[in-house]
Chain A
Amino acid sequence: MISVCRRVFAGVPSASLVAGLALLAGCASSHVTEDKRDAPLARQVTQSAHCGLTGPGLAYVQTAERLQQMLDLPTQNMAVQQLRQVDLAKEHLLFVTLGERPTSGYSLSLSSAQSTTSTLQLAVAMRSPAPGTMTAQVITSPCVVVAVPASDWSEIRVSGVRDKDLILKP
């Protein structure tokens, strides 16, 4: 009974955390095809130092349910309304996350986007506190959320978070 009860009660937050992590794709490197288009390919919806996602990676959101999973994470403190205003029929959301960081002073932002018909290549800029900078001693989980056209992307690559591109095959 105790163990069952513990699962029922205590499992919720960690389960949602795991669910959130499960949405994140791993990273690997691969060849990129570039093809510039006129219309904005991707736009930054919001960024936050408290996204609640504990691992670095990409999460692709096509449905309201999946968005809700992201917003239910403990410690998440994003501009929720801006995310909800995105019409998921026209644009999908890409969460680019840095993973947990020990202090304030970390952030991600979108710097550029390129694509071919089925491949999207994004570059994000990461800021981190310079050595010796004074920071708030609060655990952060920075991310940037990018809206991309709701196409059948075969591959999305993101550079700038880690040494190698983060790759997602939606």
Chain B
Amino acid sequence: MHAHAMAATFLKCSILAGLIVALWGCDGSSGSIGRTPGDVALSGSIAIEAGTRVDADDGETLALGASPESDAQLLPPEFVLAGYVSPAFGVYSGAGDGPGNVYPADPVDIFTLPLHAEQSISLQPFATSQGPSPLRLSLFTGNRLIATASTGNQSDPVQISLPETEPAGSYSLAVEATGFEPMLYILSTSTAGNALSAGFEWPDHDFVDSEAIVEFKQGMSQMSQHSFGPQESMEPKRELSPGVWLVQAPAQALRNSGLQTQDSTLEWVRALSKRADVVSATPNYKMRAMNTTPLNEPLYNHLSVGQQWHYELVNAPTAWQLASDGGAGVTVAVMDTGLYGEPGNWHSELDANVVGGADFVSAGFDNDFDLPSGRDNDPSDPGNAVGTSVYHGTHVSGTIAAAVNGAGGAGIAYNASLLPVRVLGEGGTGSSADLLAALRWIAGSAGDRRRADIVNLSLGGLPFQSQLNEAIADGVSKGVVFVAAAGNSASTLASYPAAYDQVFSVSAVDGAGELSAYSNSGSWIDLAAPGGDASRDGNADGRSDLISSTSASLINGSLKETYIGLQGTSMAAPHVSAVFALMKSLNPALDHGRLRAMLMAGDLTFQDCGREICAKTVDRGWGLLDAGKSTLAASTAVVPNLLASSPAIVSLSSEGSSSASVTLSVYGSDPGLVTIESVSVNAPWVRLDSAPASGATGTEFILSLTLRPEALEAGISTRAPIVVEYKSDRLRRLEIPVIGQRVTDQQARDAGRHFVLLVDPESEGDFYTTVAQTTAVVDNGQYRFSFAPDDGVEPQTLNEVPPGNYILVAGSDLDNDGLICHAGEACAEYPVTGLRQEITISPGQSLTGIEMTTSYSRPSISAATPNVLPRPGFRGYKLLPEQIESGSGHEPAHKLIGAER
């Protein structure tokens, strides 16, 4: 197996294994969840995230009869603590007869903690149901106030730091309620910046009502098309890629739910995700319009389907950083079958970038019967008169310049101007006379300005013709750059127009970068780009290596915009045209001659020529296109040889990864050798296992390092740089920050008394119905809980649970409002917070060894967690009144204080 494929496969296996472990838990002793008969229906434990502490006199503790703490609560050097303050006693407005309806008075919480020089503490306020109210955070030494900050009525965090003038040592912190209402807060140290970036609220991204992006199981995509129907649960809007659809909820599906539109959309998405034929269903999130690249497009982000393989194969993400305008201002003419749509209303992924266009298809090949036959100004692709069409020109154009718009995918030069020039008619065929006319039109007559900067020719099959050669030479003389598909005959015979000297001829590779089985080769090939290969899965992503791009397909009898996968050198050429567009946006002076010189110097491809003459092969010419190198080479500002490290920051922890490997690679306008002078780290807690020796020269180096936790103070994260001194244009220095932490607070962790609930998976209105409930206080850094089977004997205790399907959740009720898990409170959901899954309790069987983790932070929505859904207006899980305490073995008790023991 190819190494690249093997690595990808191994990664996938690791992810799979990880998922299985995550889903099924793994008790340290028993090894897995057990199902045994007995008097326990469900039991398990809840771990607590590192550094977690809780206010000793939170609202719920006070309501249980405790008095506000008069002494300061001790805190470790690094922590995240949730707390409660209230200027006065009161009853929550709108409180029913449920538990937790009073808010006790506790005007101020005082903490004592060690601070190091210039350390920062942040305070994040959370309103209770009484609404926002200001908090003040103050730092003291003795009775002397050092710093203070107030939140006002805002929900933004405030931060205070130990001033430079104050020495490290023990200090006091006060959190005061300075308004009229009770408030929750999270107080944290900003270790390595983590505390500031952690999200303590449930994700609440905006999304389009009544729409979802659904990935169907492999082999089911067509089945699902079949099941799209008005009576079904979704209606297709657009196929984004094979098996991935933008779908719309039938009005009926949402009307029946009786919920608000956003909630009902999420309910519908949740229901879709449970279908047997669906891999994942996510809301169609609204994207922010700033600073977006194709990386932000749903099709790119999609884990298993999408554009990532062919864009990453050419290092496009690096190029998008260097050419951040996405090719704006450069015009690419696509001489092809035209575009799906009509002038002013092209395929919605392309419309924004289309500028004009022309139709050169003469009557013999034309099939746009509703228009005047022959040449005109309308480059619409009418499809085929007989049979279906793949809208070849639309597909090619999408790879070049589909817009970044939060829907579907994007082209590599996503802001470039697109000039569709129709030269292929019925069945994707055309004549060289029409092509010749189109080429002349692009170049413009003598004295005219060229109509396009780059011409993409995903067509071929022509013999050498001197008129075409001259037309191309004329275009080149006017600054036009021509790129053409090498052809798919698996032949070395020259195919035109690709084989003309002044055309960049592009062969095709698969997902592993290997020449596609069909691709032409020969001495006339200039470079290679991804063209896909349906018979291969070179990148081991479980799918054929096809190029995904814009198209249109017959869905339920009518044409709809889609993304489809195709293969061919037709798909490879537009990758090159688009990268040339990015380059020309950085340096408009680049013409055919300059681009060819750069190509031959190895500046545009994955080819490390060093000082040698670059090698050329018959398969891939000067090599596989490297968009990152190409845009760097096009930059007019000189970038000297610089070392970059990957990863950019190294984190080592006694609880996480305790060793790491760092790759240093050369990055610059003219990447060449650099010489290592020294590699050093001046910290006893990190050991350099291997590093390049002094005097080593090269373009890539590897370091490996290991944490020595015994040399670290417990609980404190420490930062030190690895210093690499090297010589390129002059002596330079690279500092790679390393963060080390010895985690020893495991036994001291406390997130407050936890309520563990089994709730009905179907919500009723805003809330889920709690069926059974038990409580647990922290014991040696974790919570243990158990539920008993419902014995049918009255009275039924709270922790008795009848057989059925439930969602298992746990959390604290710091503000004593009878709800757990809202922002500012600890929360754990089984198996992973944010990704609730149903758990089945069967008659006569015990489910033991369940593991969860509780924390104040909330999951964020990312490509890695497609199943995390936003929770607009989530108010928490409702507690049952604690009339009868369960027999779980954990009697309600005043909490142990969360200080270090």
Alpha-carbon gap, A59 to B386, bound state (A): 21
Alpha-carbon gap, A12 to B534, bound state (A): 12
Stretch at the interface among A90-98, A101-109, A116-124, A160-168: A101-109
- With both beta carbons as reference points, the residue of chain A lying nearest to B485 in the complex is identified as A137
Contact B427 A49 (CB under 8 A): yes
Contact A129 B458 (CB under 8 A): no
B554: chain A residues within 8 A (beta carbon)? 79-81
Q: Does A89 contact B (CB under 8 A)?
A: no
Q: What's the minimum C-beta distance from B261 to chain A, rounded to whole angstroms?
A: 31
Stretch at the interface among A1-9, A22-30, A32-40, A149-157: A1-9
Total contacting residues, chain B, CB less than 8 A: 74
A111: chain B residues within 8 A (beta carbon)? none
Stretch at the interface among B221-229, B470-478, B779-787: B221-229
A132: chain B residues within 8 A (beta carbon)? 432, 461-463
Q: What's the minimum C-beta distance from B547 to chain A, rounded to whole angstroms?
A: 10
Contact A138 B568 (CB under 8 A): yes
B537: chain A residues within 8 A (beta carbon)? 10, 13-14
B544: chain A residues within 8 A (beta carbon)? 13-14, 74-75
Alpha-carbon gap, A79 to B568, bound state (A): 22
Q: Which of B6, B423, B566 has the most CB of A within 10 A?
A: B566
- With both beta carbons as reference points, the residue of chain A lying nearest to B458 in the complex is identified as A137
- With both beta carbons as reference points, the residue of chain B lying nearest to A71 in the complex is identified as B222
Q: Which of A6, A46, A109 has the most CB of B within 10 A?
A: A6
Alpha-carbon gap, A6 to B462, bound state (A): 41
Q: Does B151 contact A (CB under 8 A)?
A: no
Size class of the contact patch on chain A: 35 or more
Contact B570 A138 (CB under 8 A): yes
Given the contacts A74-B534, A133-B461, A104 and B428 also touching, CB distance less than 8 Å: yes
A52: chain B residues within 8 A (beta carbon)? 534
Alpha-carbon gap, A155 to B463, bound state (A): 43
- With both beta carbons as reference points, the residue of chain B lying nearest to A3 in the complex is identified as B1
Q: Does B487 contact A (CB under 8 A)?
A: yes
Given the contacts A74-B565, A107-B427, A84 and B542 also touching, CB distance less than 8 Å: no
Q: Does B262 contact A (CB under 8 A)?
A: no
Q: Does B518 contact A (CB under 8 A)?
A: yes
Q: Does B9 contact A (CB under 8 A)?
A: yes
List 5 tightest A-B contacts by C-beta distance, closest first.
Answer: A104-B428, A71-B222, A102-B488, A137-B485, A9-B542
Q: Other CB < 8 Å A-B pairs besides A17-B534, A103-B428, A127-B427, 15 of them?
A: A6-B9, A49-B389, A72-B219, A74-B242, A84-B226, A102-B489, A102-B490, A102-B568, A104-B428, A107-B427, A136-B336, A136-B568, A137-B461, A138-B571, A139-B488
Residues of B within 8 A of A (CB): 1, 5-6, 9-10, 12-13, 16, 218-223, 225-226, 242, 336-337, 384, 386-390, 392, 395, 423-424, 427-432, 434-435, 458-463, 485-490, 518, 534-535, 537, 540-544, 546, 551, 553-557, 564-571, 573
Contact sample, A vs B, 25 pairs, CB 8 Å cutoff: A5-B10, A10-B540, A12-B543, A13-B544, A46-B387, A49-B387, A50-B388, A72-B221, A74-B543, A75-B566, A77-B564, A80-B225, A82-B557, A102-B488, A102-B568, A104-B427, A133-B429, A133-B431, A134-B461, A135-B461, A136-B337, A136-B568, A137-B460, A138-B568, A139-B488
Residues of A within 8 A of B (CB): 1-2, 5-6, 9-10, 12-14, 16-17, 46-50, 52, 54, 68, 71-72, 74-82, 84, 100, 102-107, 109, 127, 129, 132-139
